[in-house]
Amino acid sequence: MLVEPEWPAADVIETGRLSLEPLRADHAVEMAPLLDDEALHRTAMAALLTAHRRDLSLVDCVSFEVMRRLGVESVPIALFIALFTGIVLALLSKYIFTGAVPIYFVGTLVGKSIMLELGPVLTGMALAGRVGANIAAELGTMRVTEQVDALETLAYDKYAYLVVPRVIAGTLMFPIVTALAVAVGVSAGYFTSLNLLDLSSAEFVKGLQIFYKFKDIWYGLVKAASFGAAVTLLGCLQGLATSGGAAGVGRRTTLAVVYGCEAILVLDAFWAV
């Protein structure tokens, strides 16, 4: 007569998080007569994996590898967009201001437009395509290959281990990438004004400073942080909602990019109020 083995009890630790005591190898051995080959294999794997489990801490949530993938690797595309945005904006400013206002207002338009609006929004839109799609595809693949189900079986919180590190990384890295893009965009406008618009350095700097406020810097960076949080969160949610194999991954990846861009526009309008 088979005796049902005693399973480990749930353990509520001091921090308030609920975790399960690791499944020991002797439990797997006791259950072996009750399980078929596939179930026995899964139980053995659970015993091995949960033996190394530890509770999630704040340090675990800040993943430098995720920050590198989402932020550092997005710098080239952001700088490329900012470079040509600054060039085009300077050229259009000269055309608009000719005979109407002093030419040094080219610096004002380039600086204000890039710092307050074009830098954060264009960078956010570009990263929504790259970062949002990357996250949705990665988590979507994990969902359809049952890796997320395996985490839940081992009593891991999928949101704590998969969503939170990515949202934190996006919230921290989007402002950094945006700051670099703003610097490149303003610099591109400056050199374009000097070489193509016959504008002196003093005139451009005068226009850049005349209406400058410290708010222009932190306002754009706060917007970028909100864009990063929205894009990464929507990418994670779409990835975890994936079903239907490869077609489902593609569909959710597309939705992550679309919803991310829409969220950026809505937040941009919110910050403008």
Distance from the Cα of residue 174 to its chain's centroid: 7
For residue 125, the model assigns a pLDDT of 94
What is d(CA 27, CA 46) in angstroms, rounded to the nearest whole number?
11
- Per the CB < 8 A criterion, the answer to whether 71 and 181 are in contact is no
Please give the radius of gyration of the chain, using alpha carbons only, rounded to the nearest integer.
26
For residue 48, the model assigns a pLDDT of 46
Full pLDDT tens readout for the chain, 273 residues: 444 444 444 443 333 333 333 444 444 444 444 444 554 455 445 544 444 444 545 455 667 888 888 899 999 999 999 999 999 999 888 788 776 778 888 888 899 999 999 999 999 999 999 999 999 999 999 999 989 888 888 888 888 889 999 999 999 999 999 999 999 999 999 999 998 888 888 989 998 888 888 888 899 999 999 999 999 999 999 999 998 888 999 999 999 999 999 999 999 999 988
For residue 257, the model assigns a pLDDT of 95
Calculate the alpha carbon distances from 247 to 111, 128, 144, 251, 252 in Å.
44, 21, 10, 6, 9
For residue 210, the model assigns a pLDDT of 86
If one counts every other C-beta atom within 10 angstroms of the C-beta of residue 59, the result is 7
Residue type, 198: D
For residue 62, the model assigns a pLDDT of 66
| Residue 112 CB partners (closer than 8 Å, separation 6+) | 211, 216
- Partnered with residue 20 across adjacent β-strands are 10
For residue 61, the model assigns a pLDDT of 60
For residue 153, the model assigns a pLDDT of 86
- Per the CB < 8 A criterion, the answer to whether 220 and 178 are in contact is yes
